[in-house]
Amino acid sequence: MPADPALLFPNPPLDSLSTAFSHNLALRRGLALKFPREITPFAALLENTPAALTDLHALLEPGESTFVVSFNPLPAAPGIATKGPYGVRQFEFPADSPLPPLPPNIPIEPIPCAHAPEMVALTDIAFPGFFRIRTCEMGPYFGIRDSAGGTGKNAGRLVAMCGERMNVRTPEADFRELSGLCTHPDHRGRGYAPALLAHMLHLHRSAGQRSYLHVASDNPTAIALYERLGFQPRGEFPLYSVRRVA
């Protein structure tokens, strides 16, 4: 089937691997591109053929899984198992929309890559396996800590975070994907998610960048939050899981 014409980017992993990350994070073999396993579990096929999947097989480690966008069912290929599709919705924050206010009473701080293990531990509660030990290299991340733990060296545990993942550069703008948004279950209902999103939106606007994000089509709670903050839907694409089994 054809790509949804409303999509800002029909294939974000391909667009990101072909532009912003083409020189430093893109692994390529023939008709396939892929992020390193420890960065993020996403790849891209230049065509929907067994040959492209065979090239992707060569980039995958034994037992490794990744995700690819395809608007048609993936063909069979030796040593490859596929699942899906899974619906993913794309949203954009319009360049001319007013920014949501920044809550003055929620302290947000940068999270350096030295703290990657606790970022992985937090995100594994919400979406296991999607945030990896080097995902933080894709862009800045910011978080909120448990105030009961103090400050500085005595700062409490990380309880909420958000940052960037897919970066797509076009002649018109530098688009930054908001990603990794999550809050520990013990700290939900305190406005941390909208505060972090507002922080990122202000950061992007001040740098002349554009904000967009993705969410599972079956996550109405997150979709309602994004729409309430002013994000506009830009269509939906199918995502397939691809695993090297031999």
pLDDT tens-digit series, residues 126-183: 999 999 999 999 999 999 999 755 454 446 899 999 999 999 999 999 999 999 999 9
Could you give the 3-state DSSP secondary structure of residue 7? coil
Answer whether 172's CB lies under 8 Å from 95's CB.
no
List the structure tokens of 242. Answer: 């691809």
Q: In the chain, what is the straight-line distance between the N-terminal and C-terminal CA atoms, in Å?
A: 30
CA-nearest of 222, 234, 178, 224 to 201 is 178
- Could you tell me if residue 4 is inside a domain? no
Are 205 and 231 contained in the same domain?
yes
pLDDT given at position 147: 77
Are 128 and 206 contained in the same domain?
yes
- Could you tell me if residue 27 is inside a domain? yes
Ranges under pLDDT 70 in the chain: 148-155
pLDDT given at position 20: 96
pLDDT given at position 43: 98
List the structure tokens of 205. Answer: 């606007």
**Enclosing domain of residue 23:** 12-86+238-244
pLDDT given at position 153: 46
pLDDT given at position 84: 97
Total structural domains within the chain: 2
List the structure tokens of 191. Answer: 């406005």
User: Structure pTM?
Assistant: 0.94
List the structure tokens of 101. Answer: 């206010």
- Could you tell me if residue 3 is inside a domain? no
Are 81 and 96 contained in the same domain?
no
Give the domain CATH number at 58.
3.40.630.30
List the structure tokens of 41. Answer: 């579990």
pLDDT given at position 2: 87
Are 218 and 98 contained in the same domain?
yes
Residue 191: DSSP 8-state: S
Work out the angle at residue 62's Cα, subtended by the Cα atoms of residues 60 and 68, and round it to the nearest 5 degrees.
Answer: 35
pLDDT given at position 243: 98
